[in-house]
Amino acid sequence: MKYMHFRHKALAAARLAVVLALAVSLSACALYRSQLPVATTYEAESQYKMQSAGHWQVLASDVADRIFKAIEDRDDLLMKPLYMEPPNSRPFSLGFYKLLTSELVSRGIQVSLERESDVVDVEYDVLAVLHNDRMQRPPIGTFTAISTGVSAARALNSMAEWIPAAIGAGVLADFASGAVTSTSNREVLISVSMSYNNRYVVHTSSVYYINDPDYEQFVDPMARGHYVQEFKPRPVRVTAQ
């Protein structure tokens, strides 16, 4: 009984400490003054990381679905073939050209091998962006959730109680290590368009993380207009002649 009484008092004291800490934090925020707007982050959002040719196929399938629907909605395009410019030498361009062609043909859409007099143009472009080193903080509550799951499993006595808790801890571990991958300093913006008579019929753009060493699969580092890098300012010495 004395142990239970002591435990209840300890829990009550812990709750009071949390409430006081929150109160102090809120009061500090209310008293804070600044002549400049305070920098803040965006709300957390997910962004896919493209890491395999299978991911290229997922994109090709999605684009083909959009093109198929757009053609269905346009009677003037139903019997016209599509034409895509030959790809450049980058692995992504070569692979995506073949994958998108396969996806379109499998849906019964005509794809012309060479440009004809009256075709619907399909184009795609890739822009690679290199950011300076950035810090990615884990979502608030991640470590709390993991530690809570581990602590809950450790506090149980019998195997019958431990197994469900272990499954829950395993789910948390999957979240922390498997389903969430690392960010990188390189991203690619992939745009695909379909146009006819100088008018866009479909235009879709998506942004993906890529593994830093993989960027040359998407763009030629020496090609102008396809690669954007954030440059740091450098001092320039000016000498009198």
Q: What is the pLDDT of residues 36-49, one digit of tens each?
A: 787 787 887 888 99
**Would you give the distance in Å from CA 5 to the centre of its chain?**
50
Residue 20 phi, psi dihedral angles, 5° rounding: -65, -40
Provide, rounded to the nearest whole percent, the portion of the chain with pLDDT above 70. 57
Beta strands 120-130 and 186-196, pairing class: antiparallel
Highest mean predicted confidence (pLDDT) among 65-69, 149-153, 178-182, 229-233: 65-69
48's CB contacts (< 8 A; 6+ apart) are 55, 208, 209
More confident residue, 220 or 143: 220
Highest mean predicted confidence (pLDDT) among 83-92, 135-144, 232-241: 83-92
Per-residue confidence (pLDDT) for residue 221, from 0 to 100: 73
Distances (CA, A) of 225 to 36, 69, 103, 120, 123: 35, 31, 29, 25, 16
pLDDT-derived band of residue 53, with 50, 70 and 90 as boundaries? very high
Distance CA 239, CA 208 (A): 45
Q: Which two tokens stand for residue 51?
A: 């890491």
Q: What is the mean pLDDT of residues 1-30?
A: 60
Highest mean predicted confidence (pLDDT) among 20-24, 207-211, 226-230: 207-211
DSSP 74: -
Distance CA 153, CA 147 (A): 10
Per-residue confidence (pLDDT) for residue 27, from 0 to 100: 60
